[in-house]
Amino acid sequence: SVLLLSFFFVIPTSNAASSYDGVSPTATSCANDATTIRSANLWDPNQNTTYPGGVIEIRYSFACHTAWARLTINSNWDNTDSHNTNKATIHRNSDGREYTCSVPIGGTSCYTKMVYDYGVTSYAKAYYNYYYALPGHWWNFSGKTSSY
């Protein structure tokens, strides 16, 4: 006797990919299984500090094959000065598509919209420019994850 096995593979189409591009992970079920797969601290190479400015992460949904960036400002740095600026970016390597977010003044974190990255790679990067009132100068933190 002969046993015949059939396997069906669902390969997402470009329509499936584009339906996730630019969408908030919390607007879908993609955030439900999110995990941090890459992270990097934000450092200012010109300052001597034991505290990073924050952390940039790639959050990933294995169910949706999507990635997004999350920036968290370190609680050791006061993010209430209106001079402070920051931005997190998710970057898909195959076509350069990017989405960004900024932590609002007084806030602690933000996350970008998603990129669909089945079969390709993406990375996350961020900066945090912090005005240190005493002695009155800028700290320019930045960081970038490796690609996943």
- pLDDT tens readout for residues 58-116: 999 999 999 999 999 998 887 888 888 999 999 999 999 999 999 999 999 999 999 99
pLDDT at residue 4 above 50?
no
Between the alpha carbon of residue 107 and those of residues 13, 78, 80, the distances in Å are: 38, 10, 8
- So what's the pLDDT on residue 112? 98
- So what's the pLDDT on residue 131? 86
Provide, rounded to the nearest whole percent, the portion of the chain with pLDDT above 90. 68
Closest-CA residue to 111 (of 51, 45, 30)? 30
